[in-house]
Chain A
Amino acid sequence: MISTQKISKQFGDLVVLKDIDLEVEKGKVVVVIGPSGSGKTTLLRCLNLLEQPESGLISIDQQSIDFGKKLSKKEIRSFRKKSGMVFQTYNLFPHFTALQNVMEGPVTVQKVNKTEAKKRAVELLTKVGLKEKIDVFPYQLSGGQQQRVGIARAMAIDPKVMLFDEPTSALDPELVGEVLLVMKDLAKEGRTMVVVTHEMKFAKEVADEVIFMDEGKIIERGEPVDLFERPKEERTKKFLNLINQ
């Protein structure tokens, strides 16, 4: 479903991604972990083209983008439709209600008619447990509720894969659970997901594969049991020791 070949990205002199090869099969959940500055968020943002690598190839759902040549805006937009992005800071549109937030993509971008889009948006909000909140503004919602609207908004464009960028990092501890629960449901439905997170328990329970990144490279990958219980690389062991303290 997703495959990247040798994607590299630099900010000035700083190499943030170096020759990343990633494969995600349809219906699989891949969790990316690693210390801050390891490039995991940048990798995720590259999949949605919020960042553009200098070189390499990304393909999602049989559509490929080669970063060797210049991309047209149309190409970028059409590729973005393949993935739905959930942000650490939710980034809901504050001037729209929950329902309008979810309807915005289908109505403005995909030109779905409003009745149809509304029906679908209500379904999605119901699915994330916010049926009662469809007409409120983001500021009237808790962080956990806002993030669930964020998930519904990303799903509304019918993406082939869902990308989560530290979706629970900005939340108060008691609100983390409700967001993870929604994500688990999506995983159970067979959604293809890439999740950057610090929630190791979630990774253990839900991930089909865990990837450990450091200094812009994939250091180690494997099934959660293997990677968490029997890490092979020294750096992985060190990182897991640090977070388990």
Chain B
Amino acid sequence: MKMYLSSSFFSSENIAILQDSFIPLLKGVLSYTIPLTLISFVIGLFIAVVTAVFRISGIKILAGIARVYVSIIRGTPLLVQLFIVFFGLGNLGVDFLKFEPFTGAIIAFSLNTGAYASEIIRASILSIEKGQWEASSSIGMSYFQSLKRVILPQATRVSIPPLSNSFIGLVKETSLASTILVSEMFRKAQEIVATTYTPLLVYVEAAAIYWVICFILSLIQDRIETRLNRYVKT
């Protein structure tokens, strides 16, 4: 039985399917999965910093806007957000809101990342001791100078592990973009399965590729952490 399974799994036919599907899958990774992740994360991070600063600004209306945004995004499924942005807004009949699948995916993923990451950044900023704000004020810095020169650089160090989590999570969540017609890796895998009828084989192959990407990312995370820890006693 065991012999039969393994020999059938690694039959020459299956190996040929794996080989044939690898290039299309890789294309999906390079032209959609990775760009989608990178662009959404960068935009999301920008939104996150602004949202976090709104929350801690002490200005009621800004803090309120930030709260509502985070609450809506965290309170609804990402898949639903994707559908609203792509199918929902697309159906309004307003040209401006009709997005290409890729654009729609970027909007949804950026907004989603922005909300979650804002909480990480807010917590990281609050983790920096009050004395740092006082020291920077005492040498004459403005609020934004303190933030930029003193607080955010230190908060970055604190936020790297949880932000890496978000980033790695985002790599995998881009597979949801398959549902709004983005030809990222998982959609490619589905298309291949539709012709080969080998779901286990091709989906495991796709899973393996996701894992390799995430593994490389965690190596990069280690390097960044080492670099940022250079000024901390270990």
A residues whose Cβ falls under 8 Å from a Cβ of B: 48, 50, 73, 77, 80-81, 84-85, 87, 89, 91-96, 104-105, 108-110, 137-139, 153-154, 156-157
Contact = CB atoms under 8 A, between A and B. Distances in A.
Contact of B132 (A48, A50, A77, A91): A91
A105 B132 contact: no
Interface of B: 131-132, 134-143, 145, 149-150, 153-154, 157, 230-233
Contacts of B232: 94, 139
Given A87-B131, A93-B132, A108-B145, A139 B138 contact: no
A84 B139 CA distance: 7
Contacts of A138: 231
B231 A108 contact: no
Contact of A104 (B134, B149, B154, B233): B149
A91 B134 contact: yes
B59 to A, nearest CB: 14
B150 A93 contact: yes
A139 B154 contact: no
B141 A95 contact: no
Contacts, number: 66
B134 A50 contact: yes
A73 B140 contact: no
A89 B231 contact: no
A95 B231 contact: yes
Contacts of A109: 139-141, 145
Nearest to B131: A91
Given A50-B134, A93-B150, 7 more contacts: A87-B131, A93-B132, A95-B157, A109-B145, A138-B231, A153-B135, A154-B139
A105 B140 contact: yes
Contact of A157 (B140, B157, B230, B231): B140
A139 B234 CA distance: 10
Contacts of A89: 131
B142 A73 contact: yes
B139 to A, nearest CB: 4
Contacts of B141: 105, 108-109
A87 B135 contact: yes
Nearest to B134: A50
Contacts of B135: 85, 87, 91-93, 153
A157 B139 contact: yes
Nearest to A157: B139
A139 B157 CA distance: 16
Contacts of A139: 231-233
A85 B134 CA distance: 10
A92 B232 CA distance: 13
Given A91-B134, A93-B150, A95-B154, A110 B231 contact: no
Nearest to B139: A105
B231 to A, nearest CB: 4
Residue from B135, B136, B153, B233 with most neighbouring chain A CB atoms (10 Å): B135
Closest 3 CB pairs of A and B: A105-B139, A91-B135, A91-B131
B72 to A, nearest CB: 33
B233 to A, nearest CB: 4
B159 to A, nearest CB: 14
Residue from A50, A95, A104, A105 with most neighbouring chain B CB atoms (10 Å): A95
8 contacts: A77-B142, A85-B138, A87-B135, A91-B135, A93-B132, A105-B139, A108-B141, A137-B230
A79 to B, nearest CB: 10
Nearest to A110: B140
B137 A80 contact: yes
Contacts of B231: 94-96, 137-139
